[in-house]
Amino acid sequence: MACINPDGTLSVVAHRVLSALTRPLAPEALAQEAGVPLYRVRGTLRETGAAGLIEQVEGGYLLTDKGREVLELAEVEA
């Protein structure tokens, strides 16, 4: 998976997209918030969804507990 490195850390763009998910956002709004093209947001949501890091909720997508853990880990290591 290009969004998630073999060691479980997030790619640069995946980190940017997931960091923007502080509230439920639809892909179009997430693209604006994260400053990432919509096509890339869609690809990232697909891969991180398959990895259990995000879930679809009313109004868009949100981080799962696992997603929050991975994001916090990335911030600690930065």
Q: Residues binding another protein: what is the number (CB under 8 A)?
A: 14
Measured from the CB of residue 1, what is the shortest distance to another protein in angstroms? 7
Write down the least CB distance from residue 41 to another protein, Å.
Answer: 9
CB of 63 to another protein, least distance (A): 19
Residue 68 engages another protein in binding (rule: CB under 8 A): no
Applying the rule CB under 8 A, the residues between 34 and 63 that interact with another protein are 37-40, 42-44, 46-47
How far apart (Å, rounded) are the C-alpha atoms in residues 39 and 26?
A: 13
